[in-house]
Chain A
Amino acid sequence: NAGVMQNPRHLVRRRGQEARLRCSPMKGHSHVYWYRQLPEEGLKFMVYLQKENIIDESGMPKERFSAEFPKEGPSILRIQQVVRGDSAAYFCASSPGSLPGYGYTFGSGTRLTVV
Chain B
Amino acid sequence: AQTVTQSQPEMSVQEAETVTLSCTYDTSESDYYLFWYKQPPSRQMILVIRQEAYKQQNATENRFSVNFQKAAKSFSLKISDSQLGDAAMYFCAYGGETSGSRLTFGEGTQLTVNP
Contact = CB atoms under 8 A, between A and B. Distances in A.
Interface of A: 31, 33, 35, 41-45, 48, 55-56, 58-59, 89, 91, 93, 95, 98-101, 103-106, 108-109, 111
Nearest to B94: A100
B74 to A, nearest CB: 18
Given A42-B106, A59-B102, 14 more contacts: A31-B101, A44-B105, A45-B103, A55-B100, A91-B45, A93-B45, A98-B101, A99-B97, A101-B33, A103-B35, A105-B47, A106-B37, A109-B43, A111-B43
B101 A48 contact: yes
A106 B79 CA distance: 22
A33 B102 contact: yes
A98 B100 CA distance: 8
Instruction: Classify chain B's interface size.
Output: 20 to 34
A95 B107 CA distance: 23
B43 to A, nearest CB: 5
B91 interface: yes
Contact of A43 (B33, B52, B95, B105): B105
18 contacts: A33-B102, A42-B4, A42-B105, A42-B106, A43-B45, A43-B91, A43-B105, A56-B100, A56-B101, A58-B102, A98-B101, A99-B97, A100-B95, A101-B33, A101-B95, A106-B44, A106-B45, A109-B45
A-B complex: 8 closest residue pairs judged by Cβ atoms: A100-B95, A106-B45, A42-B105, A45-B102, A43-B105, A100-B33, A42-B107, A98-B101
Contacts of B37: 106
A33 B100 CA distance: 12
Contacts of B105: 35, 42-44
